[in-house]
Amino acid sequence: MILCTDILPPLTRLLRRFGLQVVEVAAQDAIPGSFWGEPEAGLVGNRLYVRADTPLHSALHEACHYICMDPRRRQQLDTDAGGDYAEENGVCYLQVLLTEQLPGLKREQAFADMDAWGYSFRLGSAAAWFQHDAEDALAWLIQHGILDDRQRLRWQVRRR
């Protein structure tokens, strides 16, 4: 499992493109805004909190919640990203795409980390879901302007 400490500078640069500030928390400190508890990433406003032991998939998942939520929820964000089933699927799909934007990482790493953490998908694995059952997630990301019609990142957060 890849940890944030292994890739913090590129992760910080990547998420800055979406208006997110990555804040590194000291090893002995609690992670503000962590919905699942430590060592999972936390969200408060436009700040994504991570520690050296925070799994990369957790940081990306929380970041994707920030990207995918509507502006009203984003303004009030503190710990619980909320969202519905369709948005959660969009978050998971985007998480895979953002993994590939980091140097040396491929979607297979995202799939392995998601499976190891315990994400559950109807087809039994993150890879099977992404490859055979995620058309609705892709359509959701396009509908909300996060991906363009050619399935490329637009490098912006959801606007409506």
Residue 42 inside a domain? The answer is: yes
pLDDT at res. 119: 76
| 61 in the same domain as 30 | yes
Residues 12, 54 within the same domain:
yes
pTM beyond 0.85: the answer is yes
Total domains in the chain come to 2
Q: Would residue 148 count as lying in a domain?
A: no
Quick check: is 34 in a domain? yes
pLDDT, tens only, 24-41: 999 999 999 999 999 999
Q: Which of these three, 47, 75, 103, is where a domain ends?
A: 75
Q: What is the mean pLDDT of residues 2-31?
A: 97
Based on the domain organization, do 8 and 45 belong to the same domain?
Answer: yes
| Residues 91 and 69 grouped into a single domain | no
The whole-number pLDDT of residue 121 equals: 77
Confidence at residue 33, expressed as pLDDT on a 0 to 100 scale: 97
Residue 123: pLDDT band with limits 50, 70, 90:
confident
Dist CA 158 CA 146 (whole Å): 6
- Is residue 120's pLDDT more than 80? no
Statement to judge: residues 71 and 91 lie in one domain: no
Are 73 and 91 in contact, with CB atoms under 8 Å apart?
no
Question: What is the pLDDT at residue 130?
Answer: 95
Backbone angles phi, psi at 138, to 5 degrees: -60, -45
pLDDT tens, 94-104?
A: 999 999 999 99
Q: Which domain holds residue 104?
A: 85-143
Same domain, 62 and 101: no
Instruction: Read off the pLDDT of each residue in 17-25 and give the average, rounded to a whole number.
Output: 98
pLDDT in tens, 51-92: 999 999 999 999 999 999 999 999 999 999 999 999 999 999
Alpha-carbon distance of 16 to 24, in angstroms, equals 14
Please state, in angstroms and as integers, the Cα–Cα distance from residue 136 to each residue in 88, 97, 116, 142, 149, following that order: 11, 15, 24, 10, 14
% the chain with pLDDT above 70: 100
Residues 9 and 63 in one domain: yes
| Residue 49 belongs to some domain of the structure | yes
Residue 150 lies in a domain: no
